[in-house]
Amino acid sequence: MSGFAVRAGIPEDAEKIAAAYVETWRATYPGILPDRVLIKMSDEAQGYYWTRLLAARRAREFVRVAVDAKGGIAGFGSAGPGRDGAKREGEIYTLYVRPDFQNRGIGRALICALLQGLRERGCYQAMLWVLAQNPSRFFYEAMGGKRNIERVERLWGKDVPQVGYRWPDLAAVFAQGGPCARR
């Protein structure tokens, strides 16, 4: 991940995160999500959402950003308590790397930072949901995620199949030979 650093997201990052979010959705989801959804997305609406999230500074939810030397955001992710209510399980809510910055180790650095943040918050395991047709879903398998559950969610008038990936032992993720072990 030469030339980039991962750090905690701050409120001043909201507009850049919003732009990266819209850009990655529009690049990744054509043909998967309705065109009208992608067209209607706006940096402004996403900026409002991310400004509120970053300003809230909730203890258990957090954001990590990958930034270059000029402060540009190449990718970001967010995580916190699992939304299914499982004790000691964290959830990665978002993980996006801008198309021009993919395949440079940024996604790996971000997911490791998110998983570490969940460990620091007392989680022993983690999970995430990804659209079943998302071509990047195999990245999660390469990072040690185990495909273990599927669901279909009705979004924007369309059935959207999703796949759940789980890391059943976060300590193993960081142990020697694990996907986030120090190299």
Please write the tens of the pLDDT for every residue from 83-134. 887 778 999 999 999 999 999 999 999 999 999 999 999 999 999 999 999 9
Domain layout of the chain by residue ranges? 4-174
* pTM assigned to the model: 0.93
Span 171-181, average pLDDT: 93
Q: Which residues of 117-152 are buried (b: 16+ CB within 10 A; e: fewer)?
A: bbbebebebbbbbbbeeeeebebbeebbbeeeeeee
CA nearest neighbour of 75 among 99, 91, 53:
99
Give CATH for domain 4-174: 3.40.630.30
Instruction: Average the pLDDT over 30-36 and give the result.
Output: 92
